[in-house]
Structure 1
């Protein structure tokens, strides 16, 4: 029979024939089944209205003072869950009825009840978000998620739909704190309300409330982290000390923001709006985009600033490191297309910071090469350029992993910028080595080349070699006591240590060669008194002159200082002692000894031990030794 005919039969006339034939079992059965199928939506909405209306009207804030000032979810959680359940059933009934009879009065009545229910849920949603600001802070939300995961894994035999939020929290028992329990309950209540409102067609009202409240929390969090909107002009006007404090503050802020603020909001948003990917992405984007873009935009401003004190390099490296370390979280939290602007800003800041680091490193190299100080360092000591440069490079070595990324596509340095003599087997760098090692070895090479030029300003050649030995030893010492030792390697260190020893040997040969030459090859050889007197005089003169010149020399490295002194003493004192002991008696009277022998072997050793501390005495060793010998003579006659 056509559907239209069946509807006419059921709803318009009860003919006698139909009544008289009611005794037919098969006909009666067919008629009853048809009537039930057709009237099911109406009977379902009748039942839904009947069961939902008392509870909905009870919590109508416009007709009940009690409902206006009381929270359904805080007053009775079981009643709140029943409220959600009845409203959900009412909505389903309305949907079925609308497809059958959209003009039904019962549908209008149900719609009226639904509006009241949605206003109630809207109010509850707002109250839960507002009253649980502390419980829904990012840290509590994150911890709550971990506790929830642990609890669910231990109760995996239960279906999620069969466990209420209250039961779930109770199941967690002592494993989570009171704050975390409150956060869990609040999150589940928000989710229940959101799912009910969205399925009922009231998503806009629900989303609007969520965005307003949660965005205010993110914005407040960013403000409390002292992240403010600044322009390039404002940055450039700041003193470096002020800017440095802001950078330090940002380095702490970005950790907190990523580990708690944004991850917490992502977790909450994903949980509350789990029913809709589009809604949760839209909500999270609008809530977090402004604050996150502001946070990750600050490093770009710093990279562009014209201020470039030495400390800036390491602040910029710290910022690059912070973003690099947080990058997996950035890609996870801001993974959607709607938050791509945040990822883009973070990546742009990385690029700008990288460019700034390269520029500053090029400036550093240029500063070394352009250093035009021509005044020799007193005593051949360590040059300030060496100290500053090596301090800078040792700090750079602490960022070797980050620098590896930054230098990866940076062309290597070219040899022709330095003298060809610096590319012998001992000083050349290995182009196949890691890019960071190559770049830092190059900068040290630039420094050594500059020091070689500065050594030429010494009039005393021996002093120029001592200067080179001092500075190279300082370089090697800084390498050995920093991460540079791992980047440059033992072979590099050994080669440069050997070079430093070669410089000190040249100093010794030129500075003390005349003294060594004043003594005979065979100090015990037989000779006439006149010959002995002449050798003593030559030794006195040579030692006096060498001591006078070397008295002001400085060797700041204790190891190098002891090595040079010990080397000189080993070549000088034993030979002089043998000559002194053998030929002192040939001089005759005590008066002759005083005239020709100005130093005992012990005194020679004492004078040598006093060297390389940068003594400022302008007198020669002769005056000092004369006083000493006068005292000795008086002691003998005493």
Structure 2
């Protein structure tokens, strides 16, 4: 009979029900004086097993006490495991016929010695290879997809083992070697009924590694009273530590521990589950409970929302790994805790955004901004809203179930973009548009504090332009769309036009509609005086104005210059010579076209002094370079004339 077939007959654990009865005398070849077949198998097994096991009995040999079996000779270690497995099979076979056999007691004694040896080896491998079995090494050198196969060996596997062993030795992958040895020992101890002793060692050592890893990552369990006593700056430091820790904990610490546990106890699903659960559940619960404790026990305010969003993002991004690593039923509480933290974080974010809206509505500052410039509320609010837009992916989840803004109280054109029942806008887009709308409505009320209505419109143009630029240069553009941007750019131009009409209209009206049609020098003199008075008054009043945005500044300047500079130049060229010849009329010509151009060029930097006519006699400030703006049909300011001039 082939050798493999003989092994199956001798060591098969499946014993027929009749084997528990004494052999029948009627069987051919049976003799009461002859040993039974099972006795013969046991005799041979004991003969082979005793020297192998006793050699490594730490109570009888000095070598066994100071030397590691797996470290000394890995092939001998595998032979030791096979010997123990064969002894177990023979004991099972013999126990079915004669449970009180002296040979069985002798085999049991050998088995206990072998288990003590393997227990010691298991502990030594775990202890001596802490560096090679740290979660980072395990998670980077192994994969959970390759750990589910059995690690038991038989004679047919011997060549494969040798090749694999040589290959592993070549790359010196100590972690994989240690994992293979641990798996071999664990399977042997579990199959022989010594799982408890094996698990006790494993859980103690590996749990200490996980707990130490959590501690080194700076994660600690905080009670509500501790969080209550912390100011936000101190708590923010803890949050920063947690954000740095969660990625390492999920991708390395818990993932590596799950890989190792799956590999070592691949032969038993129930043992893998109970072992990993006991090792990792406590540390994971502390890790994922931290965000919930932060939002539950710290005061809600809009400025905290970004750190809370960071924590939400950390759990959300790592959820596939969390779900996979803690897939056992006994670790469902870990996933439940992570989900609870997500829910609480989302609630905090929604509440904080609503509080932010309230902050805008409650702003009661009434002092007009100098120069009709940009209000601090506009800057702060748009900074906050654009930063929110950077979290659009997770805000889409958080705001998905939120009730839509009550925009039906305002016309759709004011809201900013189309949103119909047939094609509803995403909740995040609606929320961002609504927050900006609340800001713009608040700015409308602040514009009413200007006594000069022209400055009110410039204030609105300045602030809306700031909003539009902030939208166009941030993720808000993708949330609100080009339609929103186009509509609000149009509103900026409308505000600028109203400012121009109210602030400069009387200057424009002071220039005769037909500059060359003056009948008498006296009428020309009156026209010059009227222009001088109107221009000086407008220049002094509007000279304090500020337009920070370059494009808007140029747009307003060009628009005013088109209506003032060219008409005045035609009027000046037509009547200046006649006025100069008349001594009484010469003084009426106060501004050359170049002077008008220079004054207009210096507008909207907020540096023109008001209240002194000397500012009209002085040159433009040398500290601010003049920007000459060209129209489509030639230069606007003197100094770069067209060739045709």
Provide the TM-score with structure 1 as the length reference.
0.89
Q: Give the Å deviation of 1:527.
A: 2.0
What residue is the counterpart of 1:272 in the other structure?
Answer: 264
Q: Give the Å deviation of 1:66.
A: 1.5
Is residue 112 of structure 2 the alignment partner of residue 115 of structure 1?
A: yes
1:226-269, Cα deviation, whole Å (9 max, x unpaired): 00111122122222222212111211211111111111111110
What residue is the counterpart of 1:167 in the other structure?
Answer: 163
Is residue 36 of structure 2 the alignment partner of residue 39 of structure 1?
A: yes
Q: 1:147 to 1:405 in 2, by over 3 A?
A: closer
1:569-605, Cα deviation, whole Å (9 max, x unpaired): 1110000001011111222437445511111111111
Is residue 198 of structure 2 the alignment partner of residue 198 of structure 1?
A: no
Pairing partner for 1:63 from 41, 60, 63: 60
Is residue 478 of structure 2 the alignment partner of residue 486 of structure 1?
A: yes
Q: 1:98 to 1:516 in 2, by over 3 A?
A: same
Is residue 419 of structure 2 the alignment partner of residue 430 of structure 1?
A: yes
Q: 1:593 to 1:99 in 2, by over 3 A?
A: farther
Q: Is the Cα contact below 8 Å between 2:608 and 2:615 reproduced in 1?
A: no
Q: Give the Å deviation of 1:305.
A: 3.4
Q: 1:35 to 1:438 in 2, by over 3 A?
A: farther
What residue is the counterpart of 2:123 in the other structure?
Answer: 126
1:326-359, Cα deviation, whole Å (9 max, x unpaired): 1111111101110011000000000000000000
1:293-329, Cα deviation, whole Å (9 max, x unpaired): 1110111112223334544211111111111111111
Pairing partner for 2:595 from 585, 603, 620: 603
Is residue 364 of structure 2 the alignment partner of residue 372 of structure 1?
A: yes
Is residue 254 of structure 2 the alignment partner of residue 262 of structure 1?
A: yes
Q: 1:166 to 1:36 in 2, by over 3 A?
A: farther
Within a 5 Å distance, the mapping from 1:42-121 to structure 2 comes to 42-121=39-118
3-state secondary structure, aligned to 2:96: helix
1:547-566, Cα deviation, whole Å (9 max, x unpaired): 11111101111110111011
Give the RMSD, CA atoms, in angstroms. Answer: 2.5
Within a 5 Å distance, the mapping from 1:276-295 to structure 2 comes to 276-295=268-287
Q: Is the Cα contact below 8 Å between 2:415 and 2:434 reproduced in 1?
A: no
Q: Is the Cα contact below 8 Å between 2:300 and 2:348 reproduced in 1?
A: no
Within a 5 Å distance, the mapping from 1:275-424 to structure 2 comes to 275-308=267-300, 310-415=302-407, 420=410, 423-424=412-413
Return the structure number with greater helix share.
Answer: 1
What residue is the counterpart of 1:21 in the other structure?
Answer: none
Q: 1:318 to 1:600 in 2, by over 3 A?
A: same
Q: Is the Cα contact below 8 Å between 2:580 and 2:586 reproduced in 1?
A: no
Is residue 563 of structure 2 the alignment partner of residue 567 of structure 1?
A: no
Counterparts of 1:626 and 1:425 in 2: how far apart (Å)?
46
Q: 1:111 to 1:618 in 2, by over 3 A?
A: same
Q: Is the Cα contact below 8 Å between 1:397 and 1:483 reproduced in 2?
A: yes
1:401-439, Cα deviation, whole Å (9 max, x unpaired): 1111111111111136x6x4x644674652511111111
Q: Is the Cα contact below 8 Å between 2:368 and 2:447 reproduced in 1?
A: yes
3-state secondary structure, aligned to 1:134: coil
Q: 1:228 to 1:575 in 2, by over 3 A?
A: same
| Structure 1: gaps spanning 5 or more residues | 11-26, 153-157, 630-638
Q: Is the Cα contact below 8 Å between 2:525 and 2:579 reproduced in 1?
A: yes
Counterparts of 2:394 and 2:31 in 1: how far apart (Å)?
76
Q: 1:426 to 1:69 in 2, by over 3 A?
A: closer
3-state secondary structure, aligned to 1:408: coil
Pairing partner for 2:614 from 609, 613, 623: 623
Q: Is the Cα contact below 8 Å between 1:194 and 1:206 reproduced in 2?
A: yes
Within a 5 Å distance, the mapping from 1:133-172 to structure 2 comes to 133-146=130-143, 161-162=157-158, 167-171=163-167
Counterparts of 1:160 and 1:342 in 2: how far apart (Å)?
43
What residue is the counterpart of 2:604 in the other structure?
Answer: 612
1:20-46, Cα deviation, whole Å (9 max, x unpaired): xxxxxxx9xx52278899812211111
| Structure 2: gaps spanning 5 or more residues | 1-17, 621-645
3-state secondary structure, aligned to 1:489: helix
Counterparts of 2:292 and 2:80 in 1: how far apart (Å)?
52
1:80-113, Cα deviation, whole Å (9 max, x unpaired): 1111000111111111111211111111111111
Q: Is the Cα contact below 8 Å between 2:284 and 2:334 reproduced in 1?
A: yes
Aligned length: 594
1:462-513, Cα deviation, whole Å (9 max, x unpaired): 0000000001000000010011111111111000000000000000000000
Provide the TM-score with structure 2 as the length reference.
0.88
